[in-house]
Amino acid sequence: MAEPEFTATGVRIGRGLRSLTRAGQVRISGGRLELLTSHGSEIDSAPVQAVRASRPWCASAGRALADLNGHRYLLTLRAHDPAPGEPGPPAAGRFIEAVRRAAGRGG
Measured between alpha carbons, how far is 43 from 40 in angstroms, rounded to an integer?
A: 9
3-class DSSP string for the chain: CCCCCEEEEEEEEEECCEEEEEEEEEEEECCEEEEECCCCCEEEEEEHHHCEEECCCCCCCCEEEEEECCEEEEEECECCCCCCCCCCCCEHHHHHHHHHHHCCCCC
Strand partners, 64: 75
pTM over 0.75, yes/no: yes
CATH (residue range 6-105): 2.30.29.30
Q: Which amino acid is at 39?
A: H
pLDDT at site 105: 77
| pLDDT confidence band for 2 (50 / 70 / 90) | low
| pLDDT confidence band for 91 (50 / 70 / 90) | confident
Instruction: Name the residue ranges covered by the structural domains of the chain.
Output: 6-105
pLDDT at site 78: 74
| pLDDT confidence band for 60 (50 / 70 / 90) | confident
